[in-house]
């Protein structure tokens, strides 16, 4: 066995320029002399400011209209092939700092075309532009129609921005409507207006945006950082044909995965194992844990249970262990004098659940939660994520507390469907409890529930000798039909 690849951890998030707290305050337009240069209104500070050394690529995806960041995050992974700094601009745009990529992937036209080709390969419609500032690239991308816009010279930036319609700024509709009422339809017309008047009528935020677009003010961006995962592959010198040898070969990978998690003070709740064969498709094994953990023993046990039940269709040439998303570990203190589940013994509740799921299947072990509903058959539902806090005794109500908050006790065992009874079988001891509900959804019930003792007639319907004589039963009578039914059995 020779380890092939190591863990893949995402880099720390870079910060462009400076933090937001270090930004210089917006220029007060009413206190400074104005100066016109090439038809664009500028301040003396803007003339002496050095030119921007950044180059931004912006891509706008018209098909992405929802606020869900998931699709954009997936596109960021593709964009990181071209640059390490990718920023999301909700709801449908990406910004890439490509200045440092020109030496490796340039010239600029080639790099821009290659990024556009990436979106076409993904069958996505994208409008793109490259400019020296973030807002300039974003505005030009929104205004691009048939061909992408590429602006490399900072001196020509104002001329290109002046041709854009003001809708490209994506300001709020009320502000855009005010500008149209003033006769302003393009950015160039907006730049020729007095800055003091714009700040007074429409706010300093709009003037600040114009300064950012023209590189008069810095505009820091937060980079997208992919979620960290452990991923390591191991190639075998000779093919492995039995699951027992796979478990032995998997131990070093699990040890390195646990070390990876401990270094980051994080845990996982899912693991994936990919087994590659010579001729057939790879075998994938999915293992779920009942709670977030970084313990090597728990990771090893759940995978061992999966491999024990696995039948290999072909010898294995290599294996790859992939963790789920890293999750923060919960800091819970344990009682040194407590026994059972809280005493740190070998068989804890999460491990029991994991072992059962590994042997019986992920869907075979589930939890039950109560729902505020009077109809017994609709007052609960299954959940795959078990509430282990109640198992560990750290919170939640016990089952007997939940089932006895009514005037009459409720049974733990409910039949899948009420069982018809004859009136001669009934020997009621307590009741009635009237339940009348559900008229609004077409599944209304009107019942009177009683607690009854089991007699021979009911015992035969429940399975004869398997049911103990004298058991307490939960029965009800339909108020309209006057028929009797068995609905539950008390323990």
pLDDT, tens digit, 9 for 90 and up, residues 252-276: 999 999 999 988 888 998 899 999 9
Contact partners, residue 51, CB within 8 Å, separation at least 6 = 132, 154, 215
Which range, of 135-144, 312-321, 462-471, averages the lowest pLDDT? Answer: 462-471
At residue 251 the predicted structure's pLDDT band, cuts being 50, 70 and 90, is very high
Q: How far apart are CA 303 and CA 250, in angstroms?
A: 9
Res. 67: pLDDT tops 80: no
Other C-beta atoms closer than 10 Å to the C-beta of 199 total 19
Distance CA(310)–CA(267), nearest Å, equals 26
Hunting for tokens 């996982």 — which residue is that?
268
Return the C-alpha torsion angle 286, 266, 391, 368, nearest 10: -50
pLDDT at 406: 53
**Pair 250, 320: CB distance under 8 Å:** no
470 vs 40, which has greater pLDDT?
470
CA atoms within 13 A on the CB side of 382: 5
Bigger pLDDT: 116 vs 334: 116
pLDDT at 309 over 70: yes
In this predicted structure, the answer to whether residue 11 has a pLDDT above a threshold of 60 is no
- Comparing C-alpha atoms, which of 380, 412, 399, 410 is closest to residue 476? 410
Instruction: Give the pLDDT of residue 334.
Output: 47
Question: Residue 266 forms beta bridges with which residues?
Answer: 328
3-class secondary-structure state, position 68: coil
- Extended strands (E) in 65-166: 86-89, 93-97, 127-131, 149-150
Range picked from 154-168, 319-333, 464-478 for highest mean pLDDT: 154-168
CATH architecture for segment(s) 25-213? 2-Layer Sandwich (3.30)
**Number of residues in the chain:** 491
Q: Strands of 365-444 (E only): list them.
A: 367-370, 380-383, 413-421, 428-437
DSSP 63: T
Residue 319: CB atoms within 10 A of its CB come to: 23
**CA 60 – CA 138 distance, rounded (Å):** 8
pLDDT of residue 326: 87
Over residues 368-384, mean pLDDT? 78
CA distance 27 to 195: 10
Residue range 194-205, pLDDT digits in tens? 888 888 888 888
Domain layout of the chain by residue ranges: 25-213, 228-328, 408-489
Cis-peptide, bond into residue 424, ω within 30° of zero: no
pLDDT at 8: 44
Do 228-328 and 25-213 fall under one CATH topology? no
Angle (CA) 25 29 30, round 5°: 120
Q: Please name which of 43, 73, 44, 46 lies closest in space to residue 61, comparing C-alpha atoms.
A: 73
Examine the pLDDT at 444 and tell me if it is beyond 90.
no
pTM of the model: 0.50
Closest CA to 450 of 471, 417, 480, 427: 427
Express each pLDDT in 457-468 by its tens digit: 555 555 544 455
* Band of residue 362 on the pLDDT scale cut at 50, 70, 90: low
pLDDT of residue 343: 43
Render pLDDT for 104-134 as a digit per residue (tens, 0 to 9). 888 999 999 999 999 999 999 999 999 999 9
- 24 has pLDDT over 60: no
Q: Average pLDDT over the chain, rounded to whole?
A: 77
In whole angstroms, give the CA distance from residue 260 to residue 229: 9
For 17, the token pair is 């320029």
What pLDDT is stored for residue 135 in this prediction? 94
Give the pLDDT score at 464.
Answer: 46
| Architecture of the domain spanning 228-328 | 2-Layer Sandwich (3.30)
Place 356 in a pLDDT band, splitting at 50, 70 and 90.
Answer: confident
User: What is the distance between the alpha carbons of residues 141 and 126, in angstroms, rounded to a whole number?
Assistant: 9
The answer to whether residue 335 scores a pLDDT higher than 60 is no
């Amino acid at each position: 066995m020779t380890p092939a690849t190591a863990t893949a951890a995402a880099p720390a998030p870079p910060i462009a320029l400076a933090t937001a707290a270090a930004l210089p305050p917006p220029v007060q337009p009413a206190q400074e002399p104005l100066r016109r240069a090439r038809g664009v209104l500028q301040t003396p500070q803007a003339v002496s400011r050095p030119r921007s050394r950044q180059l931004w690529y912006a891509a706008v995806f018209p098909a992405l209209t929802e606020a869900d960041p998931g699709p954009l995050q997936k596109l960021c992974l593709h964009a990181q092939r071209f640059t390490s700094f990718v920023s999301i601009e909700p709801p449908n745009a990406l910004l890439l700092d490509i200045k440092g990529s020109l030496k490796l992937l340039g010239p600029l036209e080639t790099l821009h075309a290659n990024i556009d080709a990436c979106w076409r390969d993904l069958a996505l419609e994208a409008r793109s532009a490259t400019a020296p500032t973030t807002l300039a690239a974003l505005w030009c991308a929104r205004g691009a129609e048939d061909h992408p816009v590429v602006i490399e010279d900072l001196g020509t930036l104002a001329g290109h921005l002046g041709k854009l319609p003001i809708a490209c700024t994506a300001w709020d509709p009320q502000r855009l409507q005010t500008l149209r009422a003033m006769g302003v339809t393009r950015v160039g017309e907006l730049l020729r207006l007095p800055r003091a008047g714009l700040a007074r009528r429409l706010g300093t935020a709009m003037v600040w945006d114009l300064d950012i677009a023209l590189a008069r003010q810095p505009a820091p961006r937060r980079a997208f950082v992919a979620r960290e995962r452990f991923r390591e592959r191991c190639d075998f010198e000779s093919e492995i044909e039995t699951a027992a040898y796979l478990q032995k070969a998997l131990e070093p990978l699990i040890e390195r995965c646990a070390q990876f998690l401990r270094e980051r003070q994080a845990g996982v709740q899912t693991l994936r194992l990919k087994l590659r064969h010579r001729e057939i498709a790879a075998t994938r094994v999915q293992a779920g844990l009942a709670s977030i953990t970084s313990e090597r023993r728990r990771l090893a046990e759940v995978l061992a249970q999966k491999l024990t039940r696995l039948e290999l269709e072909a010898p294995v040439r290599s294996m790859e262990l992939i963790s789920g998303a890293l999750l923060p570990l919960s800091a819970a203190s344990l009682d040194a004098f407590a026994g059972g589940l809280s005493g740190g013994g070998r068989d804890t509740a999460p491990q029991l659940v994991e072992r059962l799921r590994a042997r019986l299947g992920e869907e075979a072990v589930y939890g039950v939660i109560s729902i505020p509903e009077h109809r017994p058959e609709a007052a609960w539902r299954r959940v795959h994520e078990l509430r282990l806090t109640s198992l560990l005794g750290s919170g939640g109500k016990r089952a007997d507390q939940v089932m006895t908050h009514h005037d009459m006790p409720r049974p733990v065992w409910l039949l899948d469907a009420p069982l018809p009874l004859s009136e001669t079988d009934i020997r009621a001891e307590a009741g009635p409890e009237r339940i009348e509900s559900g008229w609004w959804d077409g599944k209304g019930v009107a019942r009177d529930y009683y607690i009854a003792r089991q007699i021979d007639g009911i015992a035969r319907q429940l399975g004869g000798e398997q049911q103990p004589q004298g058991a307490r039963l939960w029965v009800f009578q339909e108020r309209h039909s006057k028929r009797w039914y068995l609905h539950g059995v008390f323990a």
